[in-house]
Amino acid sequence: MSNLLLSSDDLARQWQLGDSNGGTSESCRAPSQAPFPVFALPAELRCEVYSFCSAFTLLQLTLASPRICAEINTHPTLIRDSFGCNIAKYTHNTVRPAHSVDLIRFLNGDDELRLYCEQFHHQDCLKGEHECMWCWQWEDTKDVEDEMLRAKLLAKRSYRAGGTDYDVCEVCLHVRKVCREDWNRIT
């Protein structure tokens, strides 16, 4: 009954320490005392599990553990064949980079979209890329070498109505309002 009066932080601390007075038994240890269960699997089976992940999920896994990062980056086909990988950026690099957000082209659902917006959205806006919130694809406007061609591309993808700028996704034709600050970053 005394455990009910403890705060959740106190209970968590006691559980991590394995304090028997805190209500943990010898059979219930803190997660840091046992290896992560996925590492009990053979390396071939782990790679098979990774092959079902999207490129963005693989990126999140590489950030979760140095061991998983090494496994994923040593198997380039995992990244190249995953859903959402930007094949053009991947194949044109002479030196294989570590998996990064630059290799992500598509997102796989609402959960990945929310996580992407929380973690990486500001980076892509500053690089001249912008994404469609409906089909989760973004286009790179930075790589266009000719400024006139770039201006035509931007003019084709956007239109102005009543003093407001709108951006049109070329993939799903979804229209979104663009703030003046975002538009200045893109152009």
Domain ranges of the chain: 129-187
Phi, psi of 7, deg, nearest 5: -75, 165
Q: Which residues pair with 159 in a beta bridge?
A: 166
**In the block, residue with structure tokens 């790679």:** 47
pLDDT of residue 167: 54
**Span 72-80, mean pLDDT?**
85
pLDDT in tens, 81-111: 888 887 766 665 555 556 677 777 777 777 7
**In the block, residue with structure tokens 């009954």:** 1
pLDDT of residue 100: 73
In the chain, the N- to C-terminal Cα span, in Å, equals 63
pLDDT in tens, 139-186: 554 444 444 444 444 444 444 444 445 555 555 555 555 554 444 444
Determine contact, residues 104/81, Cβ cutoff 8 Å. no
Distance of CA 28 to the CA centre of its chain: 33
Strands (E), the chain: 129-131, 138-140, 158-161, 164-168, 175-178
Distance CA 76, CA 66 (A): 16
Distance of CA 122 to the CA centre of its chain: 13
pLDDT of residue 45: 92
Distance CA 84, CA 87 (A): 9
